[in-house]
Amino acid sequence: MLSLKNKTAVITGGGSGIGQAIAELFAEQQATVYIVDLNIENAQSIVDTIKKNNGNAFALQCDVSNQQQVKDVLTSIDTIDILVNSAGIAHIGNAVNTTENDFDRIYNVNIKGIYNCLHVAIPIFQQQKAGIILNVASIAAIVGLNDRFAYSMSKGAVQAMTLSVAKDFLHENIRCNSISPARVHTPFVDGFIAKNYPGKEQEMFEKLSKSQPIGRMGTTREIATLALYLCSDEASFITGNDYLIDGGFVKLNG
């Protein structure tokens, strides 16, 4: 079960964090994986690791906010069966102290970046008469998180785009879902804590972990496993849904 043999998967943001875990797991399940990332060194490093483990993977550099780059990259791939939109950036700030440049940067990567990938990939899926799309959203789209104004806005848009695409292309054998993680332990989290709480790293790590009812952060592998199911043939009856993977954060807090 959950084999991706003979499938080709494109994973944006696959050079680190959740995208990396998805790329590695998909390759383990025999997919041919294309890691599309702005940081080509990171992407190539993951590809090298996958190949050492007898997987099949390629690294492609791309700024997802640039539609021409996205078009050039995606159309260079012979066949695409699965598109995972994992590329994204974070921001800390409220509606007052978020600058226009900050807001535009979040929009360009987290919203326009996904739109660009959908805009190019969906016609490919239409021609093939099949395709699977998974967008990485966040619990920030549906709960109030302090100082996450622009980020929450962008993830709300991801959920809305997911539903719209699922509806519009329902009868063309194109499925589209999203996943909404809570806090996941990634290098970004470690960097955020080190930058904002020097000398209190362990204390803040424990505090952030315990903010989730389950008492810890999620792992990238746990997120990747849900992604694997939703992109597999076993999930062929699922489209137009967002899946919480949050340690009980949304339903059990308070």
CA atoms of 23 and 15, how far apart (whole Å): 9
Q: Is 151 a catalytic residue?
A: yes
Q: Which of 34, 107, 115, 151 is catalytic?
A: 151
| Strands (DSSP E) found in the chain | 8-12, 32-37, 56-61, 82-85, 131-136, 174-181, 242-245
**Main-chain phi, psi angles of 57, to 5 degrees:** -150, 155
Q: Please choose, from the candidates 66, 69, 84, 74, the residue with its C-alpha nearest in 3D space to the C-alpha of residue 124.
A: 74
Using DSSP, state whether 126 is helix, strand or coil: helix
Measured distance between the N- and C-terminal CA atoms of the chain, rounded to whole angstroms: 38
* Sheet with 174-181: strands ordered across: 56-61, 32-37, 8-12, 82-85, 131-136, 174-181, 242-245
**Main-chain phi, psi angles of 134, to 5 degrees:** -130, 125
**Main-chain phi, psi angles of 79, to 5 degrees:** -140, 140
Burial class for 41, CB neighbours closer than 10 Å (0-12, 13-18, 19+): exposed
The residue with tokens 């807090």 is 253
Q: Strand 242-245 relative to strand 82-85: parallel, antiparallel, unpaired?
A: unpaired
Q: What residues are annotated to the active site?
A: 151
